[in-house]
Amino acid sequence: MSIFGMSKKGSSKSHVLNTDNGILGPTFLEGFTNHIENPKELHSYEWCRKLKSTSGNNKFKIKYYGELHEDYNYLIVETNFAPALLIAVDVISGEEILLFDGCKHGYNAMFCDTFTQEEITNRPLEHLYKDSNGNEIFEITISTYYGIDYEDEFREEVDENGLLELIDGTKIDFESVKRNGYDSLHIWATNDNGEIIEFVSEELA
């Protein structure tokens, strides 16, 4: 895992009116995001959106399994036991939205790393994220990066039903593999004062 995944992504940016650059993001966030108008920097292989609930609300609390990085204590990272798990909670409706599951999402979790049933299920969401000033309500922005050529690497392994087998033996459709097997993830929280904190930075391939 690298907390500086963005620095190696280079400077290939496109200047666009909004974040609709044709990249399809994670399937589990379908219907839970809005475009960002006039993004300052958007890479051609980046999917970037602002989180919203099904009620259209954009203020959330963040529950998580994990721990804060020893040196960068604004970042949520994995524990010695298991990868991080994060949920956003709509402060009005209470709706919960999955943000990231380190046992399932990203290239390594899908094709390289294996986890025990205990590691997968015994990750209580007992922590509530707060910034350095004690704020716990945020707007959330998510970016996933897609630098892996899945067509080149896996196309011949896709079966006649369009399914690809993951390292744990499960089979999912190839399009979902390409959308959920991103190689890095970054999530930012914006508090009511307009301060932006990057609280997730994961290199996943």
Among candidate residues 167, 163, 161, 159, the one with its CA nearest the CA of residue 176 = 163
Residue 10 has pLDDT above 60, yes or no: no
Per-residue pLDDT, 1:
41
What integer best gives the mean pLDDT of the chain? 92
Q: What is the pLDDT of residues 102-142, one digit of tens each?
A: 999 999 999 999 999 999 999 999 999 999 999 999 999 99
Q: What is the pLDDT of residue 40?
A: 83
